[in-house]
Chains A and B, each alone.
Chain A
Amino acid sequence: MQIIQPHYHAIARTAQDYERMAMSGVVAVCEPAFWAGFDRRYPETFIDYFAQISEFEPTRAAEFGIRHYCWVAVNPKEAENKELTDEVLRQMPEFLEKETCLGVGETGLHKSTKNEIESLEAHVEIAMKYNQLVLIHTPHLSDKAHGTKTVLEVLAGMDVNPDRIWIDHVEEQTIEPVLDAGYWAGMTLYPVTKCSPRRAVDILEKYSTERLLVNSSADWGPSDPFTLQESIVEFRRRGHSLQEAVDIYHNNPCRFLGQNPKWDIKPITISEE
């Protein structure tokens, strides 16, 4: 089965992960810009990072026949540094023109501070100005419900098209308001935190899957790129068809990301001869 990893931090992962993903059907990964585990001090560090994910990382993925796309943004944690954020945002549009860059992300909220909210608004404004897709991170654990509500309030006050915005890391307590407002919702499957493969399938069974995306977890912390495959096995074990699985784990990313013409992977229909 062909699979797309919509949210994958490749720079924190090994070539062996690429190889194993290729062997298990992954045809494309999308790498949002994220927090490196420490706060970067210089805008130039971000610019080099954006070059890494837009220029170098696609070559590493290509070694294994995997397409690599990226998103650029200042993540919410580092958005607390307003001076750095402003300078990175000033230089960001040049990366939006890169042939594998799909949009602005992951912006969003971490502790929902004033600076974070201003950064989120600035990112969304740039995305709208340059007609880009937006990927929005929502907070972890005890900050999640409040942070997600704040994200929705911020977006409600802006001139945005919900079709082009993906709000990520939803769980049972946050998915409904995101879908009700017309946005795409992403579930992120971690070994310990956020959602789990089985709970994700519960959510897929409970809600309309039309605007749902499923991510594995792939970063420098405790994470596992193969939680996505685990979720697919669970989905199929519950009796859902191969076409239904393809629709969720391959075609939904194609439908959302395909709003950017740079994304040329098409939805797949299974046929029998």
Chain B
Amino acid sequence: MNTFFTIVAGFLLVNIAAGLVRVYLGPTPADRMLSAQLFGTTGVAILLLLSQALSTPALVDAALVLGLLAAVAVVAFVMRVPQSEREADEE
């Protein structure tokens, strides 16, 4: 079962790598921000899987904190970056 959890965690890590393509291509800052949010969610899932695979219950707390705080960045993005720049295609 632990091997299964580790395989799924690795699969999710490959998903993050795939999401990096969107960070690279953009084209708008909003696209990049959304992929960062996706990484936060995926990171929570990987931490939960690892807490089972490594039998480290404390990693559930790390997942909880990551889940709560990953959302702060998107609030900062929405509130601090002007609308025009958020949607601007900067290339």
**A and B: interacting chains:** no
Instruction: State the B residues within 8 Å of A (CB).
Output: none
Instruction: State the A residues within 8 Å of B (CB).
Output: none
